[in-house]
Amino acid sequence: MFHGLEAGQAIVTGGASGLGEATVAQLVSHGMKVSILDRDREKGPIVAERLGANFIPVDVSDAESVEAALSALPNSSPLRVVINCAGIGGAAKTVSRGKPHDFAKFSRTLGVNLVGTFNVASQAAAIMAATDPINADGARGVIINTASVAAFDGQVGQLAYSASKGGIVAMTLPMARDLADKGIRVNTVAPGLFLTPLMDELPKNVQDSLGAQVPFPSRLGKPEEFAQMVCSLASNPMINGEVIRLDGAIRMAPR
Active-site residues: which are they?
Answer: 161
Q: Which residues are CB-contacts of 248 (< 8 A; sequence separation ≥ 6)?
A: 192, 193, 214, 215, 216, 217, 218, 219, 221
- For the chain, the residue count is 255
One-letter amino acid for residue 93 of the chain = K
List the beta strands (DSSP E) in 122-221: 141-146, 184-191
Residue-by-residue DSSP string for 11-61: EEETTTSHHHHHHHHHHHHTT-EEEEEES-TTHHHHHHHHHT-EEEE--TT
* Residues in a beta bridge with 13: 37, 84
Give CA–CA dist 57/68, Å, rounded.
9
